[in-house]
Structure formats: C-alpha cells, structure tokens
A and B are shown apart, each in its own frame.
Chain A
Amino acid sequence: MTAVLEAHGYGKRYRGRPWALRGLDLEVPEGSITALVGPNGSGKSTLIRGWIGFEPPTEGRLSIAGIDPQRHRKTAVMRSGYVPQQPALYRELTVAEHIELGVTFRTGFDADLARHYVERLGIPLAAQANQLSGGEQAQVGLALALGTRARILLLDEPLASLDPLARREFLHVLVTAVRGEGHTALLSSHVITDIEQACDRLVVLGRGRTLLDLSVADALAHHRVVEAASWEPGQPGTIGTFPTTTDERLTLVRVGALAAATPIGRPATLEEVVIGHLAAGRRRGQLEADEPVPGFAS
C-alpha cells in the first residue's frame, strides 16, 4: 500500500488561537476514497488546505504524492484537484467560461472531460454561475477538479449544500471517476450515510488529532453497540457513550477477533462508530482540560 497523502506530527495553530491540529499522523492509501469526518473546528479543512499548499504547517510535515506541498506548491497543485468547502465560482461567468478559465490557468486541463461531467449532472453550460443553486455550484466545482485530471482529489465538505438527490449524483460521479481512473480521493463530510456508500476508508478527527483510521469494512466489523445501562464503564474495548434520539444511551465497543466469537449487543452502524469515537474524543478532551497541558492557554 502506497500512501499518497501523509501527515507526520502535523500541527497547525492560527495566531492567537488554540491548536487546530496537533501531532497528527495519517496516511491515505493510493486508490482509496477516504472519508475525513469530524465535528466543526476539528481541523478537516485545515488539513486539506495544508495538502494543497494553502496553509503552512506550524509543526510537523505534510506530503502529497511524496512531495512537500509548501516547498513545491506548483507540483502539489498539479497533482491535486480541489473542491473547496463553499462554492467559489465567478458569478460573472457562465459554467462554460469556468471550464475555459481552467484551460487558461492550467496546461493539460481537460475541458472536454469537465464539460462531460457538467452535462452528465444536467447543468446547462450556458448558465451564469450566480444563477446556480449551491448544490449545482458544488457540482461544477467537482467537474472542474476532475477536469484537472489530477490523480488526487481533495474535497472539503462539498456535500454540505447539496440536497439528497444532488448528493447521490455528486457521489456517483466522484466514485465513477475515481474508480475508473484509479485516482485517490479524500472527502471531508458530515453526512455519514453517503460516506458509507462512497468511501472505502474512514478517518475520524476530533480535538485536533486522529480518533479513528480504518477501512469502512473494518470499522463496521470491529464495532458493536450495547445499551449503556447494561455495560460496565471502563471495560476493555469501551470507546464512548452517546445518546440516541429516543432518549436511550448507547455505548460503542470495539471488539477484537476473539470477542467477535461471542457477540455482544448489535453491530454498530457507521454513524454510530463515528459518533462513538467523537464522544470518546470529547470525553478525553474534557479529562485533559482538567489538567494543565503545556502549550494550551488555560
């Protein structure tokens, strides 16, 4: 397995603010579609922007396809396609003109491919960008990123502004393109159900660090949920407890190969895996906050 996106001891701190990320170690394997999940402020966007060379690290290092994106930003940009968190199209231009803009900006930009994806998503090429919905703008952003023919796609919460059907279409285009071309994609998102369908790997960030880094299949296979009331806190494998919408409290438990032989509770959904790890991350953060930690302002 070759990692195309790597973070080693990566930390980012904006002036006058606590660390957005610290001591992060992460590897995204080539050819995977990896979901990057975490609460707001967990550093997902910071990490993605770091890989494309937009944010210099405060400590540690990042690499994209084996190169440092800060030192070799041109190469980093050449090797990646990026869809930003908020649609950032030129309101004065049509969709077709955005594709032409891509051609003028970048040698080798595949205008036909970008047009193909835009048409496939049912967006008129002649439409003015400011007349498109947020979802359509995100889809044009994806088409432009795919038009770069970059082997690594970095998608920063592109699904946030999309309705369910548009999300499905977006993911379909993404998965087809990535699987068809053998590309790698890193998709940050809050929408767990979509991730389950599209991604083969899951990374959960919380409180500035990695809480979980597994394949989706392993994440589902190695986690179960039990009713919190019937579970002794602190037992081996306990990850985190969280409420459900029916006032019930569930505990996420990691099960090893041996324990799996005597199943407990029920299999966890991917959403429960994510929520359980986020709850554990929050709990750990609260415990750390009780003790002064060097480098953090009290």
Chain B
Amino acid sequence: MVESIRLTFRLHRFELLILAGFTALVVVAALVVAGRLDGLGYGPCAQVMETYTRSCEVLAQRFYAMDSREATPVLTLAAMLPYAFGLFLGAPIVAREIERGTTRLAWSIAPSRLRWYILRTAPIVVVVVLLAFVAGMAADRLFAARSPGVDISNAFDGYGYRGGLLAVQALVITAGALGLGTVVGRLLPTIIIALVLGILGIDLVGKLHEQYTRREAIIVADDGEIRGARYIDQFFELPDGRLVGWNELAEIDPAAMESEMGPQYPMVALVVPGERYREVEAREAIVLTGIAAVMLIGAGVIVRRRRPG
C-alpha cells in the first residue's frame, strides 16, 4: 500500500510539487498579511464606534489600504486553489493515462480495474483535501484579521472562500475533472471543459443553496450594523407593515422615489444571522461532498467499462 501511494505521488510529482508550493505560498502570505493587519491595531476602533477618534481614521485608512493591497490578492489566490487542484491533479489521473496509453499496460496487469482506480485516485484526493483545508484555515485567519471584532466562526464574512468549504470545493472539482477525464480520455479538453463546468457548477450549487437558505432568513433593521450575517435582500418597510423592494415602491409611491433625499421609509434587511454560519457551511459541504462522491463512484464505473484507449 505504501509503495503504491509512493508510486502514485511519483506519477504526479510535478503537479504535486507545484501545487504544494503554491498552497504553502498562499498559507504563509495569508498568515503574514493577517499578522500585519492585526499589528496595525485597528481592532478597538472597529469594534467600539464610541471610541472612534481621529487616530482611528488614520488607522482605518492604513487598514483598508493594506486590506485591498495585500489581503485581497492573497484571498483571490486562495479562491483559485480548488480549481488548480481539480484541473491539474484531478484531470490527469485517468485522462492522461488513457491519452498516453499507459492504461493498456496497467489494465493488462491489474486484474481489478477498480483496485487500480482506487490506488491511483485515493492518495491524490486525500492530498487535495488536506492542502485545500490548510489553505482554507489560513484564509479563515486572514478573514478574521480583516473583520476585526467579528467572531469569524459565527459570521458569513468570506462565505465560500475560506475554511472547510474551500477543501470541499477542491474535492468536488477534483472529482468532476477526474470523472470527466474518464469519459473524454484526453487531458487538455478535460481541463478546459472541467474549468468551465467547475465554475458554473460551484456557482449553481451556491445559488441553489442561497435560494434554500432564503427560506430561513430573518428580517432585521438595516442600520448598517448587521455584521457577520449573510445578506440576502433589502426592503422598505411601509407604514402598514408591508415589505417592498425598490421596483414595487416605485409603483406604490413614485413621489418617494423622486425625492432628492430618496425614499424615507425605514429599511430592513433579509439576512441569515452569523450564528448559523457553521450549520449553513456544513450543509453546503455535505451537498458538495455528496456530489463529489457520486462523481468519484461514476468515474469508477466508467473505468471498469471503458476501453483503455
């Protein structure tokens, strides 16, 4: 077993080294930038508005400048990691073997293609999940630093771009690219199709989940202090208690829309409270893991049935 894992890593050593290096870079950068943001000492200003002083303004400028200059690029790189793992580690597992014809050798020696598939796939999938999880934790730390005063484990800040979800996204894209590769049997087309389908798929699941989550959202006063909550929508509250959006309000009270000060109705927001972050995150992770499992099993079935190329 150990030898088999070693050989699988040998077959993917180039991609593994590049991606492990890329992950290490993202992790170190995230931790360094988080430390630098913390080091500015902007936290107390952001947490208690009453103590907001002139020096806080100076700190805020430096904080947000550093955030956009350093934290945003690091988090963008972290968000790319699941795709990089999926496309450069998931896609080649079977597609490259079929393309190069090595499946003819492997499947003529290995009586059980399923065993071959598991031995070739499992070590890569485990590494992908571990590396992406570490990157997700580093992204967690960076989001915590850029949201001072917010308990990041109970907040939707950076939802889908940090924590365990990053690892699950990497898993599902890896499984998808792997499954696609078993059908297409060629590496480059697999990478291109997997990239498009991965982006669309993750986006679709996110949107469907948002629709589902919307049913659980609550109405709160939109006073700019709904920190950590997942913002779903915004409404005006009419005197009779009805909640209406901009378009609806324009029909009901056109004069209010034309007023220079804008509509004077109180605004409310539809949000999922930050306290529910873990639950929502876990639910999306379970759905994505289920999709990944189906794709991995499907790829195994195709491997058992297809020609070696």
Contact = CB atoms under 8 A, between A and B. Distances in A.
Contact of A102 (B10, B11, B109, B112): B109
A90 interface: yes
Contacts of A148: 109
A117 interface: no
B22 interface: no
Nearest to A93: B10
Say what secondary structure dominates the interface of chain B. helix
Contact of B308 (A54, A93, A109): A54
Given A74-B112, A88-B102, A104 B11 contact: no
Interface in A67-91: 73-75, 77-78, 80-82, 84, 86, 88-91
A81 B111 CA distance: 11
A54 B107 CA distance: 9
A105 B106 contact: yes
Contacts of B112: 74
B213 interface: no
A75 B112 CA distance: 9
Contacts of A75: 111
Nearest to A140: B105
B278 interface: no
Given A54-B308, A100-B7, A84 B101 contact: yes
A144 interface: yes
B111 A55 contact: no
Contact of A109 (B14, B106, B107, B109): B109
Interface in A107-136: 109
B108 A52 contact: yes
A216 to B, nearest CB: 27
Contacts of A91: 100
A97 interface: yes
A145 to B, nearest CB: 8
A77 B110 contact: yes
Given A54-B307, A84-B101, A88-B105, A97 B111 contact: no
B3 interface: yes
B109 to A, nearest CB: 5
B101 A88 contact: yes
Interface string B208-239: 00000000000000000000000000000000
B101 A86 contact: yes
Contact of B108 (A84, A93, A100): A84
Interface in B5-61: 7, 10-11, 13-14
Contact of B109 (A54, A55, A86, A105): A105
Nearest to B13: A92
A276 interface: no
Interface in B269-296: none
Given A86-B101, A92-B13, A106 B3 contact: no
Given A84-B104, A104-B4, A104-B119, A77 B111 contact: yes
B108 A97 contact: no
B307 A55 contact: yes
Contacts of A220: none
Interface residues of B, number: 25
B11 A78 contact: no
B159 interface: no
Interface in A23-81: 52, 54-55, 73-75, 77-78, 80-81
Nearest to A147: B109
Contacts of B11: 90, 92-93
Contacts of A11: none
Contacts of A105: 106, 109-110, 115-116, 119
Interface string A201-232: 00000000000000000000000000000000
A92 B10 contact: yes
A259 interface: no
B93 to A, nearest CB: 13
B107 A77 contact: yes
Nearest to A80: B108
A97 B112 CA distance: 20
Contacts of B110: 77, 105-106
B269 to A, nearest CB: 54
A91 B106 CA distance: 13
A145 B108 CA distance: 9
Contacts of B10: 92-93, 97
12 contacts: A78-B111, A88-B102, A88-B104, A91-B100, A92-B11, A97-B10, A101-B106, A104-B3, A104-B4, A104-B7, A105-B110, A105-B119
Interface of A: 52, 54-55, 73-75, 77-78, 80-82, 84, 86, 88-93, 97, 100-106, 109, 141, 144-145, 148
Nearest 6 A/B pairs, CB to CB? A82-B108, A105-B110, A104-B4, A88-B101, A84-B104, A74-B111
Given A97-B7, A106-B111, 16 more contacts: A52-B108, A54-B107, A77-B107, A77-B108, A78-B111, A88-B100, A88-B101, A90-B102, A91-B100, A92-B13, A100-B7, A101-B106, A104-B3, A105-B116, A105-B119, A144-B109
Interface of B: 3-4, 7, 10-11, 13-14, 100-112, 115-116, 119, 307-308
